[in-house]
Amino acid sequence: MLLQRVATSIIGVPVIVALIWLGGTWYSVAVAFFLVVAALEFYAAVAPASSANPTLAENPLAALSPLRLPRLLNQRPLGLMGVAFVALLVAGAHNGGDWWAGAMALAAVLPLLWLTLTGDVDRALGDWLWTVGGVVYIGWLGSHLEFLRHLSNGRDWVFLAVFATFANDTSAYLVGHALGRTKLVPHISPGKTVEGSLGGLLFGALGLVVLNYALGLRLDAAAIVPLAFLVPLAAQLGDLAESLIKRGAHVKDASVVVPGHGGVLDRLDSVLFVVPVVYYYAIWVVL
């Protein structure tokens, strides 16, 4: 597992660095792609579609395909709608706040309209909630990657958020495996330990301080100390939130598309919470 994680990082980190550095359309397309895959993982976990003799109303992609589809493409119509809205939110964020707000409004209204037309009273409320919940969780939170990149010194802000998160995640994993004895929240995530969590908080904070100076942001102590506390805390809460969702959906990993890490959502869970924290901290406190 550790060797797979290292190999994936050796390949993935330079790609992430290049995309953040480039910004623009390439960055936006990459953000949309990863969030769409994460959304497919989410909906396949929380509301899986039947793949046995599906109808168009149950599983449109499988019903139209002559071949057996992979698990992530076995989606109910509302799941596909949610995935589309995740992509639309990224496109909206790329074009400005008004477009982004409009995309979120559509994401709330159109699934409800669909359910009203289909008239399934018993399932309508639950179906609407998981559809919009996935859009908010992955699309709304994740599209802040666009807003953060658009800030003054946005490239450095994204580097700070993403790699401070990686510092927390990696140190929590390594410290937990080396020293972990006390379970943190075994009913949500049996593998997480108090020792690993403390290691992640400590090294995540140190990583953010180092990145602050290495990237040239040069935030003073009054600005960097609260952020150094908030970022690793948000990262760990994001990780636990995804663990809670997976536990409720009775899946171990979101998927297996990222060797050694599980799915894309398993790698983005912390980032989804960290990036909005960094963005709003930057615009409300720093800039």
Distance CA 221, CA 178 (A): 32
- pLDDT category of residue 120 using cuts at 50, 70 and 90: confident
Residue pair 39/136 in contact (Cβ under 8 Å)? The answer is: no
pLDDT digits (tens, 9 = 90+) for 186-231: 999 999 999 999 999 999 999 999 999 999 998 999 999 999 999 9
Mean per-residue pLDDT over the chain, rounded: 93
Residue 131 token pair: 């559809």
Per-residue pLDDT tens over the stretch 154-170: 999 999 999 999 999 99
Of the candidates 52, 50, 34, 26, the residue with the CA atom closest to the CA atom of residue 264: 34
What's the pTM? 0.94
| Residues 227-254: b if buried by 16+ CB within 10 A, e if exposed | bbebbbbbbbebbbbbbebbeeeebeeb
Domain ranges within the chain, ordered by starting residue: 28-150, 152-287
What's the pLDDT tens digit per position in 9-25?
788 899 999 999 999 99
Written as six digits, the tokens of 222 are 């009054």
Whether the pLDDT of residue 248 is over 80: the answer is yes
Q: Is residue 85 within 8 Å of 107, Cβ to Cβ?
A: yes
Question: What's the pLDDT tens digit per position in 13-61?
Answer: 999 999 999 999 999 999 999 999 999 999 999 998 877 778 888 889 8
